[in-house]
Amino acid sequence: MNKILVTGGAGFIGSHLCNRLVAAGNDVLCVDNYFTGDKRNITHLLANPHFEMMRHDVTFPLYVEVGQIYNLACPASPVFYQQDPVQTVKTAVHGSINMLGLAKRVKARILQASTSEVYGDPEVHPQHEDYWGRVNPIGPRSCYDEGKRCAETLFFDYWRQYRLLIKVARIFNTYGPHMQPNDGRVVSNFIVQALRGQALTVYGDGQQTRSFCYVDDLVEGLMQLMESPAECTGPMNLGNPSEFTMLELAEQVLKLVGGVSRIEFCPLPTDDPRQRQPDITLARTQLNWQPRVALEDGLRETVAYFRQLLRV
């Protein structure tokens, strides 16, 4: 049995990770300040003797005894991370410094939930881990993009300087139950709009692409990366290489939800990437991992979750 800390554990991905870790027989300490996390995501775990919840902001030091740390704490959608961009940078950078310091003190291995946004609006397609990216350092999204890039720098400096056991996962677009209905992500946007009979807002001409990974697949990848040999540090892309345009996604959601919603085109946001597709060769070869849930099946589960949440 491991004692495992999950920061951001009440959030979308973090809550699914807590579920899996507890089910595997681990003692899990979930830490969250509830800026984007939701208590409803982890309420069912509170009675479990192997689960503990702590309200805490990772920009402040934390003193606990654990063997592994999953650092997921950070708002991850533009709506939330642009609400308080200075705090977003602090969470990414100060939060990483605090969690790395904790890992160093207790000799824990630590996994950083990085992001495909470190590639910016890429000139290379699909994106592989050796690509350094094309990020606007002063744009409205840079608080998140550059915050995560700096966090990766810190992790690898701790690895080089202190030989800390680190893992860095670059997470591509992920979807599934426990997403916030107002988080501004394209999957939740389309589903909520369709369920409410509203127009589905497609930005630009809808030909920009994303690759959508169901949350169960992503969590499996994170856990496998954490348990991989010490020399497997990453950074490692985790995502689904199947690429879809925004129009294709909108049509799939309309097919599953039904109703009378139409598609409405809006101006493209600043610094919105035109293409996003992971090269997961590294994950396939080092972890024997690849996504298994098809987009239609994952969307069906996500639609069912939002129907119940919104009661529509």
pLDDT in tens, 9-68: 999 999 999 999 999 999 999 999 999 999 999 999 999 999 999 999 999 999 999 999
The closest alpha carbon to 187, from 214, 220, 218, 222, belongs to: 214
The 10 Å Cβ neighbour count of residue 234 is 23
pLDDT 10s digits, 281-309: 999 999 999 999 999 999 999 999 999 99
Q: Give the fold, CATH level 3, of 3-175+214-239+277-292.
A: Rossmann fold (3.40.50)
Helix residue ranges per DSSP H, 48-84: 78-81
Is residue 271 very low, low, confident or very high in pLDDT (cuts 50, 70, 90)? low
Active site residues: 144
Q: What is the pLDDT of residue 268?
A: 79
The 10 Å Cβ neighbour count of residue 167 is 26
Cα separation, 200 vs 203, in Å, equals 10
DSSP string, 139-184: STTHHHHHHHHHHHHHHHHHHHHH---EEEEEE--EE-TT--TTS-
- Rounded to 5°, angle at Cα 122 from 183 and 213: 45
Taking residues 190-204, what's their average pLDDT?
94
pLDDT 10s digits, 202-258: 988 889 889 999 999 999 999 999 999 999 999 999 999 999 999 999 999 999 998
Is residue 1 very low, low, confident or very high in pLDDT (cuts 50, 70, 90)? low
**Reported pTM:** 0.95
